[in-house]
């Protein structure tokens, strides 16, 4: 028994379980991407072996709670930490086996207490004589779990086996002969040029336009089809003619008596035509899988095989998660079996009445800003009537039921509420979250914690060694001088700035200075914020006033290869006119169509270039045509799309309409003529028009000035080379002096910390400025999250700079690289509006914490890589100064990884709180949250390696820290572009992996392998 307990509580078992869980969850995300959520749940998340791993992990943590040293005062944080995970696992089990959720649909003015289950079920009854057995099983059907359903029923002394044998994700219904079916007629019907394929069973009718068609029904239809003497006939009150399909000759039909309804004969009256295509005496509709590219019905189908007393029958069940399953009846061996597949109805002990559904949109956009349901909760049993407003992140909570705003009907007269009943699971899990957070904070403060021990070790090492650092400062300058553009720039900088001060509405409904739009245009055209020394305002306004000349200015970069041959241009850049032939034909038309027809993962480099160039050509076209300049608000409608120059609206007076149609064209003409007085008059008129009709939604003048200042400074772009260069120079000198027995002057470290500290203040000010301008925290999209990662890396370097100046140097290099990546062409620096679900303080905290963790984990990875280089360069087993530096950096790295692990863990759980407050589920195995948990598991393993025999060496720890960062990259970028989920940009349609990724992997492998080899050769760094 002692051996079993020792095994179940062993650190190596914990480490193994961490890695197995991480690998399983990582694989499951790709299974989900390719085969759907049900496949991932059936094969992984909800499987017995996956739950078994959590049970073993819970047992391991529970047994470790009994170790005496954990109950000492200084070890209480560690005790609480392990206890919290045990509690979280219990909470997850309660949610899994006790809680449930669903969707409630309500129309305005109606009330209901019923909602559909989130899970799908195969349910049924088996009757045999007076004996009846009912069963119900929650199922996870997919192509990879087609045999998920199994049920054994004993009825009337007989044993019946039911088993699912196949599954079809998307189906269409095809008529097939069936001895248990009904007569079926198939037709093609056309009304007013539209074509419809119809199938009518005996006893059914359908309305097509203004005509009704019935098959042997009592209701009087425009066309009544019926069966007589095994022949189809029809009657009608309309004059009918027959059209010969070959000669197109028409023949009137005698309708004094029922007429035969022949197949492949065109019958018509007025604009109504019909042709019988098939007739089956006994048929049923069978589900068949839809071929790729076809739409299908969207219905799933499960084929269930029934075995009883040597007899076998199969039945196809159709259903879908958002529909209640329909019964299908089949008889076998004297037993009547009723089966259904789909969600089931659940009932709450009270009703919800929808009084009003309200939807607000961003001005000039179809994008929702917010939507809400005004409801009344009616509990007649307890005499409770409660009025409530449900909207995103504002939930109705009553008797353990939580109602969340989920969606709405297309006509905006109905709402869809997400329903969750998981009181105890949520409470227990939240208790675990709280205890986990508390233990992490205490572990950073407790005097006997590992974190504080590492701090004391670093101090001791610092007192033993001497390191010389020499800092070189370098300045960077940006900008280009004007070259050969004087003939095309026909406006002054002052005129351009006045133009840039106007307001404009973008396609997402955001109202911003024209200066921001001009910057976005120029970045699309030339990949820079200015062009040959000229500002974006000046270039764009010159294009508008001197369009024909600018059509011949080479703006669009063309790479070597087939593109140059197609365009007929030998230079590095091409002009807009180069892309069009003498007849006005677009030279890239065929290549663009082929590129967009090809899936992103299979596009060639040339096709990717075609798409980029085509986008630039289109941007120039939209600029010169003025189709991006939504400058004129619509009077009386703040939500309307602003008008382009030359447009008009019915709400405009005759004078205002004339102004909108003409003012911009005469403004451009005054610029061409150089009439300064008229220019000012027209630009003032446009500005007053905007203020007059949109004052209540226009940002303040302070916001406008600050946004223009933000655009002009290009703060983060300028800081990228400064941080990178300064950090690299510091790192090079620190690296050199590690091998020199010289003292370092004290002012060097102080100067480095001072400069990077100053840049951090500037960096923080830039982030605050973007926050103020946008009105939301600056980490809501890919570009902003990259900025925040760079900021958190910079912060991590400053935190550990007192322990070692190398940490700050590495942080500077990494922060600079991150800022450079943020300004690559695939990152969009545009400030945008938020979707409703992102307007949550929980989200703000969640993203801030979890993205900050990337900075600390990234700093740890880079210091680990630096350490591996040092280990690889060691020549002797004893190089005291170098040895001390390696141990020092490893200790700092462990501290950084500890902080990073704590933050990503807390951040992931805060994300669960946000998700629970937004749509009623704190964990849903979305790829992003799953990979966050994978990263937590991997770093938990890294920090526990010191307890596992064979993995205690410094070199193993450094290799692990470097390799583990790839899970962070997958969490941050990989999920967004390669997996389908709520956090995805590419919806699972993968984009090509950049070449530098392969080079990075090879470099890490080579450096790590050589470090391991050299460490083994020297037999050093075993702790």
Q: What is the pLDDT of residues 358-401, one digit of tens each?
A: 987 766 556 676 788 999 999 999 999 999 999 877 889 898 89
Positive/negative CA dihedral, 260, 265, 268, 272: positive
Q: Quick one: pLDDT band at residue 835, thresholds 50, 70, 90? A: low
| β-pairing verdict for 311-319 and 223-228 | unpaired
Strand partners, 511: 505
The mean pLDDT of the chain is 83
217, 205 contact by CB (below 8 A): yes
Q: What is the pLDDT of residues 843-868, one digit of tens each?
A: 667 777 887 788 889 888 988 998 89
Spatial CA neighbour of 510 closest among 840, 839, 835, 847: 835
User: Which 3 state secondary structure label does DSSP give 665?
Assistant: helix
**Is residue 116 situated within a structural domain?**
yes
**Is residue 380 situated within a structural domain?**
yes
**In terms of domains, do 726 and 812 share one?**
yes
Instruction: Give the pLDDT score at 938.
Output: 93
Q: Which of 2-11, 569-578, 598-607, 686-695 has the lowest mean pLDDT?
A: 598-607
Question: What is the residue whose two structure tokens read 């050769």?
Answer: 1017
How far apart, in whole angstroms, are the C-alpha atoms of residue 443 and residue 905?
14
**In terms of domains, do 417 and 365 share one?**
yes
Q: Quick one: pLDDT band at residue 822, thresholds 50, 70, 90? A: confident
Describe the strand order of the beta sheet including 211-215 as a list of residue ranges: 205-208, 211-215, 223-228, 231-236, 259-260
More confident residue, 987 or 316: 316
Which whole number is the average pLDDT over 426-436?
86
What does the buried/exposed string (b/e) look like for 357-374 if buried means 16 or more CB atoms within 10 Å of the residue's CB? beeeebbbbebebbbbbb
| DSSP-assigned states of every residue in 449-500 | SHHHHHHHHHHHHHHH-------------------S-TTT--S-HHHHHHHH
Q: Which of 275-284, 529-538, 843-852, 958-967 has the lowest mean pLDDT?
A: 843-852
Instruction: Give the pLDDT score at 479.
Output: 36
**Is residue 691 situated within a structural domain?**
no
**In terms of domains, do 148 and 198 share one?**
no
How far apart, in whole angstroms, are the C-alpha atoms of residue 635 and residue 82?
62
**In terms of domains, do 235 and 289 share one?**
yes
How far apart, in whole angstroms, are the C-alpha atoms of residue 86 and residue 121?
31
Instruction: Give the pLDDT score at 980.
Output: 58
Which whole number is the average pLDDT over 695-699?
86
**Element containing residue 922 per DSSP (H, E):** none
Instruction: Give the pLDDT score at 213.
Output: 92
Q: Quick one: pLDDT band at residue 480, thresholds 50, 70, 90? A: very low
Last residue of a domain, one of 360, 394, 421: 421
How far apart, in whole angstroms, are the C-alpha atoms of residue 998 and residue 996?
5
Instruction: Give the pLDDT score at 761.
Output: 92
Q: Which of 90-94, 499-503, 783-787 has the lowest mean pLDDT?
A: 783-787
CB atoms within 10 A of CB 67: 13
Strand partners, 503: 513
Sort 602 into a burial class: Cβ within 10 Å, 0-12 / 13-18 / 19+: exposed
CB atoms within 10 A of CB 310: 6
How far apart, in whole angstroms, are the C-alpha atoms of residue 499 and residue 76?
64
Answer whether residue 990 shows pLDDT above 70: no
**In terms of domains, do 806 and 774 share one?**
yes
How far apart, in whole angstroms, are the C-alpha atoms of residue 296 and residue 92?
37
The first and second tokens of residue 486, run together, are 């004087």
Last residue of a domain, one of 394, 421, 448: 421
Answer whether residue 960 shows pLDDT above 90: yes
Answer whether residue 905 shows pLDDT above 80: yes
Sort 987 into a burial class: Cβ within 10 Å, 0-12 / 13-18 / 19+: exposed
**In terms of domains, do 738 and 827 share one?**
yes
**In terms of domains, do 149 and 237 share one?**
no
Last residue of a domain, one of 815, 834, 853: 834
Q: Which of 136-150, 878-892, 939-953 has the lowest mean pLDDT?
A: 878-892
**In terms of domains, do 380 and 429 share one?**
no
In total, the chain counts a number of residues equal to: 1023
Q: Quick one: pLDDT band at residue 982, thresholds 50, 70, 90? A: low
Q: What percent of the chain has pLDDT over 90?
A: 23
Sort 635 into a burial class: Cβ within 10 Å, 0-12 / 13-18 / 19+: middle
The first and second tokens of residue 148, run together, are 């998920």
Instruction: CATH number of the domain at 203, please.
Output: 2.60.200
**In terms of domains, do 47 and 13 share one?**
yes
**Is residue 790 situated within a structural domain?**
yes
Helix ranges, 874-970 (H)? 880-919, 927-944, 954-969
More confident residue, 921 or 715: 715
Answer whether residue 471 shows pLDDT above 50: no
Residue 823 exposure: Cα atoms within 13 Å on the Cβ side: 18
Instruction: Give the pLDDT score at 352.
Output: 95
**In terms of domains, do 407 and 377 share one?**
yes
The first and second tokens of residue 334, run together, are 């004297």
The first and second tokens of residue 644, run together, are 């382009």
Answer whether residue 749 shows pLDDT above 60: yes
Print the domain residue range for 756.
714-834
Question: Phi/psi class of residue 1018: alpha, beta or left (left: φ > 0; alpha: ψ in -120 to 50)?
Answer: alpha
How far apart, in whole angstroms, are the C-alpha atoms of residue 403 and residue 354?
13
More confident residue, 605 or 589: 589
What does the buried/exposed string (b/e) look like for 464-477 if buried means 16 or more CB atoms within 10 Å of the residue's CB? eeebbbebeeeeee
Which whole number is the average pLDDT over 529-533?
84
Query: Integer distance in angstroms from the first to the last C-alpha of the chain?
Result: 31
**Is residue 653 situated within a structural domain?**
no
Instruction: Give the pLDDT score at 295.
Output: 65
Helix, strand, coil fractions of the chain, as percent rounded to 5:
50, 25, 30
Instruction: Give the pLDDT score at 978.
Output: 74
Instruction: Give the pLDDT score at 731.
Output: 77
**In terms of domains, do 763 and 788 share one?**
yes
Q: Quick one: pLDDT band at residue 720, thresholds 50, 70, 90? A: confident
Answer whether residue 988 shows pLDDT above 60: no
How far apart, in whole angstroms, are the C-alpha atoms of residue 823 and residue 270?
63
CB atoms within 10 A of CB 230: 6
User: Which 3 state secondary structure label does DSSP give 367?
Assistant: coil
How far apart, in whole angstroms, are the C-alpha atoms of residue 328 and residue 344?
15
**In terms of domains, do 119 and 39 share one?**
no
Instruction: Give the pLDDT score at 879.
Output: 67
Q: What is the pLDDT of residues 257-285, one digit of tens each?
A: 888 998 888 898 888 889 999 899 898 87
Answer whether residue 517 shows pLDDT above 50: yes
Total number of domains in the chain: 4
**Is residue 769 situated within a structural domain?**
yes
Instruction: Give the pLDDT score at 215.
Output: 93
Q: Residues near 626 by Cβ (< 8 Å), separated by ≥ 6?
A: 544, 644, 645, 646, 664
Spatial CA neighbour of 54 closest among 91, 79, 27: 91
**Is residue 856 situated within a structural domain?**
no
Which whole number is the average pLDDT over 343-355?
94
Maximum CA extent, the chain = 117
Q: Residues near 249 by Cβ (< 8 Å), separated by ≥ 6?
A: 243
Q: What is the pLDDT of residues 766-781, one digit of tens each?
A: 989 988 888 877 776 7
Answer whether residue 489 shows pLDDT above 70: yes
**Is residue 793 situated within a structural domain?**
yes
| DSSP-assigned states of every residue in 857-887 | HHHHHHHHHHHHHHHHH--SS--HHHHHHHH
Answer whether residue 552 shows pLDDT above 80: yes
DSSP-derived letter for residue 394 is B
Instruction: Give the pLDDT score at 748.
Output: 64
Q: What is the pLDDT of residues 614-636, one digit of tens each?
A: 888 888 888 888 888 989 988 87
Q: Quick one: pLDDT band at residue 875, thresholds 50, 70, 90? A: confident
């Amino acid at each position: 028994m002692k051996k079993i307990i020792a095994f179940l509580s062993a650190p190596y078992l914990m480490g193994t379980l961490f890695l197995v869980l991480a690998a399983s969850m990582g694989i499951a995300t790709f299974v989900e991407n390719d085969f759907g959520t049900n496949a991932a749940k059936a094969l992984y998340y909800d499987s017995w072996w996956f739950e078994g791993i959590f049970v073993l992990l819970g047992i391991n943590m529970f047994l470790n709670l009994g170790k005496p040293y954990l109950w000492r005062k200084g070890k209480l944080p560690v005790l609480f930490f392990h206890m919290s995970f045990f509690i979280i696992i219990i909470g997850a089990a309660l949610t899994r086996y006790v809680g449930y959720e669903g969707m409630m649909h309500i129309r305005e003015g109606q009330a209901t207490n019923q909602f559909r289950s989130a899970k799908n079920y195969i349910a049924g009854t088996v009757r045999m004589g007076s004996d009846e057995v009912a069963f119900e099983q929650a199922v996870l059907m997919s192509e990879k779990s087609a045999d998920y359903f199994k049920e054994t029923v004993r009825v009337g002394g007989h044993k019946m086996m039911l088993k699912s044998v196949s599954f079809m994700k998307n189906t269409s219904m095809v008529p097939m002969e069936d001895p248990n079916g009904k007569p079926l007629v198939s037709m093609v019907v056309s009304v007013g040029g539209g074509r419809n394929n119809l199938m009518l069973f005996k006893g059914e009718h359908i309305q097509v336009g203004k005509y009704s068609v019935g098959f042997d029904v009592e209701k009087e239809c425009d066309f009544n089809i019926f069966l007589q003497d095994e022949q189809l006939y029809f009657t009608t009150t309309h004059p009918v003619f027959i059209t010969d399909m070959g000669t197109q000759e028409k023949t009137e039909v005698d309708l004094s008596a029922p007429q035969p309804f022949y197949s492949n004969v065109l019958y018509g009256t007025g604009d109504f035509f019909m042709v019988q295509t098939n007739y089956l005496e006994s048929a049923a509709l069978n589900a068949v899988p839809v071929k790729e590219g076809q739409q299908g019905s969207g219905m799933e189908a499960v084929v269930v095989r029934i075995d009883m007393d040597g007899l076998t029958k199969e039945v196809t069940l159709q259903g879908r998660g958002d529909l209640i399953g329909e019964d299908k009846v089949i008889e076998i061996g004297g037993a009547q079996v009723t089966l259904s597949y789909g969600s089931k109805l659940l009932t709450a002990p009270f009703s919800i009445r929808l009084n009003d559904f309200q939807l607000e949109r961003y001005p000039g956009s179809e994008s929702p800003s917010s939507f809400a349901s005004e409801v009344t909760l009616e509990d007649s049993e307890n005499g409770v009537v409660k009025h409530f407003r449900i909207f995103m992140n504002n939930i109705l909570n009553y008797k353990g039921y939580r109602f969340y705003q989920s969606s709405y009907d297309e006509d905006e007269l109905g709402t869809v509420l997400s329903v969750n009943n998981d009181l105890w699971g949520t409470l227990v899990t939240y208790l675990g979250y709280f205890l986990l957070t508390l233990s992490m904070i205490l572990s950073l403060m407790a005097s006997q914690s590992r974190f504080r021990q590492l701090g004391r070790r670093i101090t001791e090492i610092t007192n033993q060694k001497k390191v010389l650092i020499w800092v070189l400062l370098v300045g960077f300058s940006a900008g280009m001088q004007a070259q050969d553009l004087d003939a095309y720039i026909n406006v002054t900088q002052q005129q351009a700035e006045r133009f840039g001060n106007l307001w404009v509405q973008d396609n997402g409904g955001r109202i911003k200075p024209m200066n921001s739009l001009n910057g976005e245009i120029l970045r699309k055209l030339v990949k820079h914020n200015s062009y040959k020394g000229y500002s974006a305002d000046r270039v764009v306004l010159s294009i508008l006033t001197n369009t024909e000349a600018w059509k011949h200015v080479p703006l669009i970069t063309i790479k070597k290869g087939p593109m140059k041959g197609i365009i007929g241009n030998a230079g590095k850049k091409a002009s807009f006119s180069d892309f069009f032939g003498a007849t006005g034909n677009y030279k890239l038309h065929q290549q663009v169509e082929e590129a967009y027809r090809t899936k992103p993962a299979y596009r060639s480099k040339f096709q990717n270039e075609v798409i980029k160039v085509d986008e630039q050509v289109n941007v120039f076209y939209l600029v010169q045509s003025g189709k991006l300049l939504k400058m004129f608000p619509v009077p009386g409608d703040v939500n309307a799309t602003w008008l382009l120059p030359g447009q008009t609206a019915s709400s405009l007076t005759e004078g205002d309409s004339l102004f909108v149609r003409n003012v911009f064209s005469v403004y451009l003409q005054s610029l061409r003529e150089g009439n300064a007085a008229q220019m000012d008059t027209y630009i003032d008129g446009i500005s007053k028009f905007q203020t007059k009709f949109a004052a209540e939604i226009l940002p303040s003048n302070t916001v406008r000035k600050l946004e223009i200042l933000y655009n002009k400074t290009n703060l983060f772009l300028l800081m990228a080379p400064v941080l990178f260069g300064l950090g690299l120079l510091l790192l090079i000198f620190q690296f050199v002096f590690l091998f020199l027995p010289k003292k370092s002057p004290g002012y060097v470290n102080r100067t480095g910390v001072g400069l990077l500290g100053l840049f951090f203040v500037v960096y923080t000010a830039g982030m605050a400025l973007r926050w103020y301008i946008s009105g939301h925290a600056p980490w809501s999209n890919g570009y902003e999250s990259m900025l925040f990662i760079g900021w958190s890396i910079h912060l991590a370097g400053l935190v550990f700079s007192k322990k070692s100046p190398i940490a700050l140097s590495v942080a500077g290099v990494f922060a600079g690289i991150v800022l450079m990546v943020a300004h690559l062409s695939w990152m969009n620096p545009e400030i945008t509006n938020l979707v409703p679900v992102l307007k949550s303080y929980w989200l703000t905290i969640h993203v801030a914490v979890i993205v900050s963790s990337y900075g600390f984990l990234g700093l740890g990875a880079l210091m680990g890589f630096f350490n591996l280089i040092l280990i690889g360069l060691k020549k002797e087993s004893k190089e005291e100064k170098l040895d001390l530096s390696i141990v020092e950096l490893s200790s700092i790295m462990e501290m950084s990884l500890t902080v990073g692990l704590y933050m990503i863990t807390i951040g992931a759980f805060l994300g669960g709180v946000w998700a629970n407050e937004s749509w009623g589920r704190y964990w849903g195995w979305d790829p992003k949250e799953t990979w966050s948990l994978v990263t937590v598991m991997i770093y938990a393993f890294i920090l526990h390696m010191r307890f596992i025999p064979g993995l205690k060496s410094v070199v193993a720890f450094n290799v692990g820290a470097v390799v583990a960062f790839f899970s962070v990259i997958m969490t941050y970028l990989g999920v967004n572009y390669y997996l389908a989920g709520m956090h995805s940009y590419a919806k699972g349609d993968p984009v090509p992996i950049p070449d530098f990724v392969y080079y990075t992997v090879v470099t890490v492998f080579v450096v790590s392998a050589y470090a391991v080899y050299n460490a083994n050769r020297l037999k050093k760094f075993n702790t």
